[in-house]
Structure 1
Amino acid sequence: MRIPMADALATTRLDTPIGELRLAASPEGLVAILFACDEKTLPAARGTAPARAHLDRACTALQEYFAGRRTTFEDVTLAAGGTEFQREVWRAVSGIPFGQTVSYARVATRIGRPKAVRAVGLANGQNPIPLIVPCHRVIGSNGSLTGFGGGLPTKKWLLEFEGALAAAHRS
């Protein structure tokens, strides 16, 4: 994932039950959410007023999510980079409802590329906006909790929080 670094970029830190998150937004929308364990750096940046507005909206939405008052993020404007294939996967992943999980194979089928399971896994792993693009809801075909940028304990916590963990082990 490449995060655009420009004077227009606004960044902040947000304390959450899964640890500190670092967020970045451009005037076009939210570009990144980084977990505490992520080695990438985000410079402290005030950014432009539009970038700050996107950042404020994302922070409010995440606070509401962790308080149990939000299950969707449709009103958060996203401006993730990535290839067309990655963006196609991220759009499909964004459609996974709160409290549910799907397999990588199911995502591949949803985008019309049933044989692209590994490519879907790689694209999912490059998701620059986890939580809002809920890559934690994608699991192995056997129900296993596989790869997650925030670590498997965080993925497990999120799925338990959403009430999806039991469903994850039945899928």
Structure 2
Amino acid sequence: MAEANRRDEDRLSTPGRRSSIIRPRWLRFDEDWFGRFAEWIARTMGSPGFLMGMTVLVFLWILLNVVGIFGWKWDPYPFILLNLAFSTQASYSAPLILLAQNRQEDRDRLSLDEDRRVAGQSRADMDFLAREIAALRTNMGELSTRDFVRGELRDQLRDLLAEIEAADERPDGEISPTQSEPA
């Protein structure tokens, strides 16, 4: 009995999630599904096909109600029923379009945050690479460059070629001190 009271006290002392309105299962809806539906409505109502279809529908409506083909005259001249249909369409489409815009703004905000994060990371990487390149350039000052080595090799080759040509021109075949005798 003491354990049951303790469990009841623990359950009552901890805040829980309460639903103020208990809805039947068929009245619950997924907000993401509703948002996708609103985006679909916004895309559809802004399409050329919808606008052309609406224009044809209005033209036929007016034509049938003014001319009265086949005896159909359900909405006389001020076209009150047509105005009611347009008002109803506007009253539902405006909030759905606003909901779609809000969802798009949320996606844009997330995309912008991700772009900022990637740009910050790229900037940090570039700063790191710039520091590394600067350190390499500083250390390269102590090393021989490619042009320096090429120049030294060119000078030495030129000297060797000059000595070989000089040895070939001597009549006695005397070897200069920089040349070694063949083994």
Coarse TM-score class (shorter-chain normalised): under 0.3
Higher helix residue share: 2
The two structures have a TM-score, normalised by structure 1, of: 0.20
Which structure has the higher relative contact order (CA within 8 Å, separation 6+)?
A: 1
The two structures have a TM-score, normalised by structure 2, of: 0.19
Larger Rg: 2
